[in-house]
Structures are given as structure tokens and as C-alpha cells.
Homo-oligomer: A and B are copies of this chain.
Amino acid sequence: MVAVAPVIDVRVQAEDFDVGAEMAGLERLGGGAVGSFTGIVRGGAGLTALVLEHHPAMTHKALTRMAEDACGRWPLLGVTLIHRYGALVPGARIVFVGTASAHRAAALDATMFLIDWLKTRAPFWKQERFADGRTAWVEARSADDTAAKRWDADKGDVMDG
């Protein structure tokens, strides 16, 4: 067996994605264990859309660095990160994290790590739009910072976005 570089697939896009197809791609890497997280716009309180703005020049690079970082921490065969931008209605997918590994804990821990980091280190901003015309920028949550900091033990050089 030859060690193969992990397959990193990062996409920042307005359009939706096919979760089944993404999972199938990770399954084909042969590790035996595929983990995933999908984030979806939650409705309620008159929300009509979540509008995601991002820093286009930076986003793809930032997500790629996160995926590479995950591959340095866990024995992964593949990482797929997809993050949408633009106006997304309740029920729409926002983000997908998928990982493939020979080890189930590696796949799921890396998935958790990546979604924690996406919440706190990816240059995206969410604005809520409501039926009555109001808009509100989503505030960063300290709980997200706390979750992300769990992964910092061995890293001294990272910054919160």
C-alpha cells in the first residue's frame, strides 16, 4: 500500500449541492468510514432568508487551509468542504463538511473540528431578512469561539476571524 495524499475538495458557491453525490465521492476513497455535517437554514420568527456575504479572494484559501489542517491532525483520505453564499431560504443547505478515513473517530472528530472552525475562522457573514422588512446581522456567538478553542491546544498561531 502506498500512502496517498488526502483528496481535498473545497467549493464556495451560490448554487445548492447534492449531498448523496458528495458522500458517494468520499465513500469511493476506500477508507471505510465517512463522516458528514450539513448545515441548513432554520426558519421561524418570520425569517424569509439568510443572506451570506463572504470575502471572495480569501474564502477558498481559508477553507483549503482548514482542510489541510484537519488532514495534519487526523489520518484522513479525503475532505470535502462546500459553503454557499447569497440569499438562502429556510430549509436550504448552507454548508457541507464531509470526511473519509479508515477510522470512524478520525472521520467524525475531523468533521466536528471543521464545522467549529468554519463557524469562527471562515470569512462569511450572515444577515437575517424578515417578512416585515427588517434585517439583522447575525452576531458571533461566544459559544462558537469556545467550541473552536478546544482545538487550539497544540496551535499558538491562529487568530479568530
**A contact residues vs B (CB 8 Å cutoff):** 1, 18-21, 23-24, 27-28, 30-44, 91, 93, 102, 104-105, 107-108, 111-112, 115, 147
B111–A35 contact, CB under 8 A? yes
A33–B40 contact, CB under 8 A? yes
Given A33-B39, A39-B33, verify A108-B108 contact (CB < 8 Å).
yes
Give the docked Cα–Cα distance between A113 and B33 (Å). Answer: 15
User: Which one of A32, A38, A44 has the highest number of Cβ atoms from chain B below 10 Å of its Cβ?
Assistant: A38
Give the docked Cα–Cα distance between A34 and B23 (Å). Answer: 13
Give the docked Cα–Cα distance between A32 and B94 (Å). Answer: 9
Task: Pick the residue among B27, B42, B43 that contacts A93 (CB under 8 A).
Answer: B27
A39–B32 contact, CB under 8 A? yes
Give the docked Cα–Cα distance between A41 and B25 (Å). Answer: 15
Smallest Cβ-Cβ distance to A34: which chain B residue: B38
